[in-house]
């Protein structure tokens, strides 16, 4: 069962920075790390994994949602993403959609302008609630 909890943003930042150090980014030379707090208190992380076929690159958020699912699933309550210098990075458009799928109600994201909600960074989103299967 997912429960709302206080967010330790410093711990999420540290986990994102640690994840970023695992990045495989020989083409862009732009390492990215992401970390998120789940509803049952886990921290899941991801780094970007590039490919010689550039368009096949996995963003850090893609690896993060894979880890979420592989370690028990659940919902994302809070999210933090960093670039190679540890600066806050906004998730790209595709990754906002990936995160939206697994958002907890009121999910928060650290941004360069402070904490925002998932609904603020992906307004009017298309999601599982629009599909017959999930109604």
Residues that bind ligand THU (CB under 6 A): 25, 28, 30, 32, 48, 50, 57, 59-61, 91-92, 95
Active site residue 13: no
71, 98, 109, 123 from 116: Cα distances, Å: 26, 17, 5, 12
CA distance 115 to 106: 11
17, 86 contact by CB (below 8 A): yes
Give the DSSP H/E element, type plus range, for residue 60. helix 60-70
- Residue 90: CB minimum distance to ligand THU, A: 7
Q: How far is the CB of 134 from ligand THU (least distance, A)?
A: 25
Residue among 9 and 84 whose Cβ is closer to ligand THU? 84
Minimum distance of ligand THU from residue 111's CB (angstroms): 12
Point out the catalytic residue in the list 61, 85, 129, 133.
61
Annotated catalytic residues are: 61
């Amino acid at each position: 069962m997912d429960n709302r909890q206080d967010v330790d943003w410093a711990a999420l930042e540290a986990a994102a920075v640690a994840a970023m150090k695992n990045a495989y980014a020989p083409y862009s030379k732009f390492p990215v790390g992401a970390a998120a707090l789940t509803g049952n208190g886990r921290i899941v992380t991801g780094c970007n994994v590039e490919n010689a076929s550039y368009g096949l690159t996995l963003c850090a958020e893609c690896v993060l949602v894979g880890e979420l699912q592989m370690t028990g699933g659940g919902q994302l309550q809070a999210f933090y993403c960093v670039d190679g210098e540890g600066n806050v990075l906004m998730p790209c458009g595709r990754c906002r959609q990936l995160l939206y799928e697994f958002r907890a109600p009121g999910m928060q994201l650290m941004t360069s302008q402070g904490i925002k909600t998932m609904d603020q960074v992906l307004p009017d989103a298309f999601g599982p609630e629009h599909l017959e299967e999930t109604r």
